[in-house]
Amino acid sequence: MARKLSRRSLALHVATHLVNGKPQKEIARQLAAYLIWTRRTKELTLIVRDIQFYLAEHGHIAGTVTSAHDLSASTLKAIEAFAKEKTGAKKVSLDRAVDESVIGGIKLEIPGYELDTTVARQLTILKTRYKKA
């Protein structure tokens, strides 16, 4: 049976291999096999968060951009440049999500930062301000 590693040491091991250029599919397959073998699949979300933390220490940031519509390439480049400036990262990779409920604007989520300029958020802020008055 495989030796049980701590969640953080497992995340550090995976992040190190990712930074060193080992194929992502191979690393994901090995991580999945280990988690299944040790019956720790419920820890996956926490392990992924820890991997993102260690990658951020090495200058690799992964995040999500949510908008009401597809974003143009130039807009995505501007958002990536903003994320690099804010975090000091060398490499930024952003997943794109389209959610019509945000109405307009963008929501950027990267480790340690969240920028929400959506219309839905602004409406929620106005609603709570006037509810108190």
Domain assignments of the chain as residue spans, ordered by start: 7-56, 61-132
CA 24 to chain CA centroid, nearest Å? 16
Average pLDDT of the chain to the nearest whole number? 92
The predicted pLDDT at position 32 comes to 95
Report which DSSP code applies to 111.
Answer: T
Partners of 114 in the β-ladder: 109
pTM: 0.74
**Residues contacting 6, CB < 8 A, separation 6+:** none
- Give the tens place of pLDDT for each residue, 27-85: 999 999 999 999 999 999 999 989 988 998 899 999 999 999 999 999 999 999 999 99
